[in-house]
Amino acid sequence: MEFMKVSAEVFVPDGVSAHEALARTTHLAVGAHQDDLEIMALDGILAGFGRSDRWFTGVIVTNGAGSPRDGLYGSYTDVEMQEVRRREQRKAAVVGEYSAVIFLDYSSAELKDAADTRAIQDLAALAKRCRPEVAYVHNLADKHPTHVAVALRFISALRSLPFEERPSKVYGCEVWRDLDWMVDSDKVIFKLDAHENIARALVGVFDSQVVGGKRYDLATMGRRRAHATYLESHAVDAAQSVDFAMDLTPLVMDDTLEPGAHVAAHMDRFQREVLASLERLGGA
């Protein structure tokens, strides 16, 4: 499969052809950076783990050149960090038994340029080849601009396909902003108790980030545990590990729905819930 960037790569852990690896995909995740998939799309990874009838494929859109670094990696150049992060992502793909992982190799600046449609074309071609049942991407309220750009480009890519070729479910997931602020009826709740050892390992293999000054391993597992406990105040925990997602499927099923309007509707429901509580308790 050809991509817009000659430096793009398809890595297939079990050695089958790229064509076969993409064709067997049932769950597809699109992330901005190496390690985003493991933080936000564990639901999809676990769906395929240890199975031959369900397969997870991940797409990394940017090259990861601008990542923070310290310790062992403090003196690494951007070029050296790109190779380190690709190597770490390949390790995660092996640990998680992914069908494939694709590196599109765009810079963040290229991705954030709304006039540059190359990433949209690549993502559309991948979605068409994979035909996933479920897709994961960053949520539209994420505070990282590159993450939001990835989500917007992926939505545009899916909208370029015929309706029958679009995923039946598309979820916007957590990395740089939690989604616990959404009203409970809006939350997509992923219960992730199975294979906690694999979940830890998937984030832990990104040594350049963990040793380099960002404890994503501890933060990710801690957030999942906190979500599980704080989800319901008047009941015992129904799970030990939980991720939240925003349902982006309406944006893929209705091409006239604006992404901003979709997020604003979630925010409006949150605001109304808070204000109603204050009014009910005499604080309005």
> Alpha-carbon distance 101 to 91, whole Å?
11
- The predicted structure's pLDDT at residue 190: 98
Residue 74 to residue 224: CA distance in whole angstroms: 29
Beta bridge partners, 4, equal: none
Tell me the pLDDT band of 115, cut-offs 50, 70 and 90.
very high
Per DSSP, which regions of 72-124 are E strands? 100-106
Determine contact, residues 31/149, Cβ cutoff 8 Å: no
Single pTM value for the model:
0.96
Domains and CATH numbers, the chain: 9-254 (3.40.50.10320)
Largest CA distance in the chain: 64
Query: What is the pLDDT at residue 240?
Result: 96
Element counts in the chain: helices (H) and strands (E): 12, 8
Q: pLDDT band at 143, cuts 50/70/90?
A: very high
Average confidence score pLDDT of the chain: 95
Question: In this structure, are residues 245 and 134 in contact, taking their beta carbons and an 8 Å threshold?
Answer: no
Residue 238 forms beta bridges with which residues? none
pLDDT at position 211 is 83
Could you read off the pLDDT of 56-108 as tens digits, one per residue?
A: 999 999 998 777 777 777 788 888 888 999 999 999 999 999 999 999 999 99
3-state secondary structure of 95: helix
